[in-house]
Chain A
């Protein structure tokens, strides 16, 4: 099946610094990518939807200036957590979609990135 990778798999940073997380679709082109956040023992919460070449659409309550999303190519989307604080510590998961209408196997998930802010 299709593969989505994320880098790094885990990162520890100091409070106030910025962290960039990459999401890549390795063997398909993704017209749409999604970023989720998952706190311990909780479900995945959609943060934003990004379409290649256009601005991301953020969910209610997600600060677009804090979570910068760039989807510059059909195989790469990045999430930058700016001025990170301990409350931003979480598991960030991206997913990539091939486009068209929803179908059985068109949305693939990455392995996640564990962010810890000290």
Chain B
């Protein structure tokens, strides 16, 4: 089946630095992408989303970039804080195929002091 995968399983970042978490997807029909944050023992928490007709979207301290040419998605976190430590998942939806959310493999972000 289609995969949504990540390049780096673990990312260690110093507090205050910027973080970049990457995601590759293989389903060219995907038209909607979401980044989730999951803390230990909790459910996924929505961070930011982007549609395929956009290549960049900004939120509070977070930016998502979409490169459809190479099927690549990234999440940038500015001024990373200890509270940002978690596992981050990208997820994709192909709205033409029963709208099922497919999660990538996840990246653990570790923020060091």
Complex contact A111–B43 (CB within 8 A) = yes
**The residue from A42, A93, A102 contacting B44, defined by CB atoms under 8 A apart:** A93
Q: Are B101 and A46 in contact (CB under 8 A)?
A: yes
Kindly state whether residue B58 has any CB partner on chain A within 8 Å: no
Q: Which residue of A lies closest to B101 (CB)?
A: A107
- CB atoms of B43 and A93 under 8 A apart: yes
- CB-defined interface of B23-57 with A at 8 Å, one 1/0 digit per residue? 00000000010001000011111100100000000
A111 to B3 alpha-carbon distance, docked (Å): 25
Q: In the complex, which residue of chain B has the Cβ closest to the Cβ of A1?
A: B46
User: Which of B11-19, B60-68, B102-110 makes up part of the contact surface?
Assistant: B102-110
In the complex, which residues of chain A have a beta carbon less than 8 angstroms from the beta carbon of B45?
109
Q: How far is the CB of B58 from chain A (nearest CB, A)?
A: 14
Point out which of A45, A102, A105 has the most chain B C-beta atoms below 10 A from its C-beta: A102
Neighbour of B89 across the interface among A6, A44, A46, A105, CB < 8 A: A44
- Residues of A with C-beta under 8 A to B89: 43-44
A29-48 contact mask (Cβ, 8 Å, vs B): 1 or 0: 00000100000001111100
Q: Is A109 a contact of B95 with CB atoms below 8 Å?
A: no
**How many A residues, CB 8 Å from partner?**
23
Please determine whether A102 and B95 come into contact, CB atoms closer than 8 angstroms: yes
A49 / chain B contacts, CB cutoff of 8 Å = 98, 100
In the complex, the answer to whether B100 meets A109 with C-beta atoms within 8 Å is no
Chain A contacts for B49, CB-based, 8 A: 104
Q: Which positions in A face B, CB cutoff 8 Å?
A: 4, 6, 34, 42-46, 49, 91, 93, 95, 101-102, 104-105, 107-112, 114
Residues of B within 8 A of A (CB): 32, 36, 41-46, 49, 89, 93, 95, 98-106
Q: Apart from A101-B95, A101-B99, what are 17 other A-B pairs with CB-CB below 8 Å?
A: A42-B106, A43-B89, A43-B103, A43-B104, A44-B44, A45-B103, A46-B101, A91-B41, A102-B93, A108-B46, A109-B44, A110-B43, A111-B42, A111-B43, A112-B41, A112-B42, A114-B41
